[in-house]
Amino acid sequence: MRIEISGHQIDVTPALRDYVQNKLSKLERHADKLLDGHVILSVDKLEQKAEGTINLAGRTLHADSVAEDMYAAIDLLADKLDRQVLKYKEKLHDHHRGESAARNASFG
C-alpha cells in the first residue's frame, strides 16, 4: 500500500514518517485490497491532529484523531481506520447463507 504523508504547520521527520508507515501497514492484515492512503499531520496550538484517508476497492474510509502527543494521535488514527476496515470487511460477507424457511420457500 502506498501512503502519502504531509504536514501542516509541522515538519514531517523521518521518524514520524516511519511510525505512520509502520502503524498503517498493519491495516493490510485485515484487508488485502488496500490501494493507497493519505495522511495529514497538523498542529493547532496545544493539540496534535492526524487525519487519514484510505482508498479500498470501491470504498473510501476517512478518520481523524486529536491528542496532546503526535504519536498518540497516530495510534488513535490507526485504531479508528482499523475498526472501519474490519466493519467494511464484515459487511462484505453474506451472513445469511444458512438454511432458513424463507430461502427454501417452505414456510407457511
* Secondary structure of residue 95 in the 3-state scheme: coil
DSSP-assigned letters across all residues of 12-53: --HHHHHHHHHHHHGGGGT-TTEEEEEEEEEEETTEEEEEEE
Exposure of 22 by Cβ count < 10 A (0-12 exposed, 13-18 middle, 19+ buried)? exposed
27-39 pLDDT tens trace: 888 777 777 899 9
Per-residue model confidence (pLDDT) at position 105: 61
pLDDT class of 108 with cuts at 50, 70, 90? low
Does the pLDDT at position 104 exceed 80?
A: no
* Cα–Cα distance measured from residue 18 to residue 3, given in angstroms and rounded to the nearest whole number: 11
pLDDT class of 97 with cuts at 50, 70, 90? low
The distance of Cα 71 from the centroid of its chain, to the nearest Å, equals 16
Looking at every residue in the chain, the average pLDDT score rounds to: 86
21-73 pLDDT tens trace: 999 988 888 777 777 899 999 999 889 999 999 998 888 999 999 999 999 99
The domains of the chain, with CATH numbers, are 2-92 (3.30.160.100)
Q: Which of 44, 43, 41 is nearest to 52 (CA)?
A: 41
Per-residue model confidence (pLDDT) at position 8: 92
Does the pLDDT at position 77 exceed 70?
A: yes
Residues sharing a CB contact under 8 Å with residue 2, sequence separation 6 or more, in sequence order: 35, 36, 37
